[in-house]
Homo-oligomer: A and B are copies of this chain.
Amino acid sequence: MLGKQRRIALMAEGSFTLLDAKTALGVIRYRPEEVVAVIDSSRAGRTSEDCVGAGGDIPVVAGLEAAAALGADTLLLGIAPQGGTLPGSWRNVVAEALRRGWDILSGLHVFLADDPELASLAARHNCSILDVRRPPAARPIAARRAANLDAVVVLTVGSDCNVGKMTTALELHAELQGRGARSAFVATGQTGIFVADQGAAVDAITADFVAGVVERMVLDAARDADIVLVEGQGALHHPAYSGVALSLMHGACPEALVLCHQAGRTHMKLADAGPAPRIRALSEIIRDNERAASWVRVAPVLGLSINTMMLDDLEARRTLENVSQLTGLPSMDPVRYGAEAVATELMRRVDERKRRASNE
């Protein structure tokens, strides 16, 4: 698929909203030039901007036929259902896209390329199925190798899943590149991979090798960068995904953290009903993340990234002020107001390191 200009139809049937279409929104926000349509029959006729506040005039259409008329040649499965299986009704859509000769980009836990029917359809119509969650073949074991890099390694951590860890890393990356810094982004989830065209979906890796795979990606990224921004996954306090978060942290060996949180969210999202655990005070989450990082390498939280999308402008600015007062740290909503607060501190660290190196 590399080198080919993709014209993507984003599949988000029945779920093209800010809350449900995390992957679709990420692709729309960071690869807008490749998206020709979003498929969601329940919202057909509207625009992307209208549904998720991003993507401008990208049209929402009812199905493949309408997307084809707009020139789509790739179907991207823009959902991340828990458990990761393919909703029954979507299977037919994938098959139909392959019959039209479209390529498939999938972030599902279930690998579409391993499905005999879909694979043979792809072969017959000369198109490809890329399962971005397929783990790398290598099985590396981490050994704190990323702890001694010259580059400043930064990890985004969260108060819960789906609070803006990838977005924060990407916005910092853009801000730093805008300032001329040599910055690199390490994608660790399906959406990040769609955006960066590389990376590994760490939650799909065999548990023993998660930290090792992250370590390798950070070492690779540090070759050409002064700042490596690692996309966090899960949350230390989340009952289902805490282990992934800790593996990632200890594989990446960051020297600094950015804590991401969604304003107004009070409880964590669990797999099903039952009492969802309360999100703790930010000061407690900061302390716990710093403590866990220190088991391998000391890493302070440099600042907070607060997703204020559910608030109006006045509320949002007040919230950021409150968070800064409560924690004594800079806070930002990078999507809304930019990522200066933390970017400046990262630039300072790079400069300091260069000064120290030239003095030696």
List chain A positions with a Cβ less than 8 A from chain B: 82-85, 109, 139, 141-145, 202-208, 210-212, 236-248, 250-251, 253, 270-272, 274, 277, 288, 291-292, 295-296
Contact = CB atoms under 8 A, between A and B. Distances in A.
Contacts of A238: 250
Given A85-B139, A243-B248, 6 more contacts: A145-B274, A205-B207, A211-B243, A236-B295, A242-B296, A243-B247
29 contacts: A84-B139, A84-B208, A109-B139, A141-B240, A144-B239, A144-B277, A203-B207, A205-B207, A206-B206, A207-B207, A207-B210, A208-B240, A208-B241, A208-B244, A211-B240, A211-B243, A236-B246, A236-B292, A236-B295, A239-B250, A239-B253, A242-B246, A242-B247, A242-B250, A242-B295, A242-B296, A244-B247, A288-B291, A288-B295
B244 A143 contact: no
Contacts of A295: 236-237, 242, 288
Contacts of A272: 143
**Max chain B Cβ within 10 angstroms of own Cβ: one of A242, A274, A277, A291:** A242
A206 B144 CA distance: 22
Contact of A144 (B210, B274, B288): B274
Given A246-B246, A277-B296, A296-B277, A240 B143 contact: yes
Copies in the complex: 2
B239 A143 contact: yes
A202 B243 CA distance: 12
Given A236-B295, A250-B239, A296-B277, A270 B204 contact: no
Nearest to A208: B203
A243 B240 contact: no
A274 B203 CA distance: 28
B204 A208 contact: yes
A270 B144 contact: yes
A141 B109 contact: no
Contacts of A205: 206-207
A277 B247 CA distance: 16
Nearest to A142: B240
Given A143-B239, A243-B211, A109 B203 contact: no
Nearest to A292: B292
A255 to B, nearest CB: 15
Contact of A207 (B243, B270, B271, B277): B243
